[in-house]
Amino acid sequence: MRSPIIGILALAALASGVGCATSTPPAAKAAGVERVQCDAAATNDAERLLRSTTVLRSDAIYTHVITGNNNSEDRVAGAKLLVRPPEGVTAELMVRTLQCHSARVLLGQVSGALVPNDPYWLPDAWVNIDVKPEDGNFAITLTSDSVRDNLALLGRAQHYADDHALATEPALP
């Protein structure tokens, strides 16, 4: 017959192993990105790039999640901005510039208030940023690790898009 102590010890060992499986803290991730991504090309024009970007569209990114017996739901998994490519900026330079900016804001080296509704960073959370060419423009995807953070990203991205939208109709008198 097994001793109850062995069962308790096994559960304790399992619980301690689960507790050790944590992800990299956002500040540590930001420090690594800052060290690898931030050079003169990626840092000199970050504020100008953020202020001058023309946004064509913002969309939510959803993920379909099975929640139980024959139940599922769509959850916000981030945001996507479709932007005009800034003159002379490649997708690679844009992603490096945005990632460097995000890291520096998270590390407190740059103010996050310089550009209203800046969607490229969140307080105390890492934002994954990817830039890909799409139909002659750039598709910028922004994701984080939780639904709460992804909802915050989506809200910021929508406000940023409103502030930086391409004027498509003349203003009314």
Domain boundaries of the chain, sorted by first residue? 25-163
Cα separation, 112 vs 50, whole angstroms: 11
State residue 103's pLDDT score: 93
Question: Considering only 19-23, 66-70, 152-156, 160-164, which range has the smallest mean pLDDT?
Answer: 19-23
pLDDT, tens only, 42-78: 667 788 888 889 999 999 999 888 887 778 888 899 9
For residue 82, pLDDT beyond 80: yes
CA dist 83 and 80 (Å) reads 10
If you ran DSSP here, which 8-state letter would residue 44 be given? T
Percent of the chain's residues with pLDDT above 90:
48
Bigger pLDDT: 83 or 110? 83
Task: Count Cα atoms within 13 angstroms, Cβ side, for 135.
Answer: 5
- The answer on pLDDT for 160 being more than 50 is yes
Question: C-alpha 46: how far from its chain's center?
Answer: 16
Mean pLDDT, the chain, as a whole number?
82
How far apart CA 83 and CA 58 sit, in angstroms, is: 9
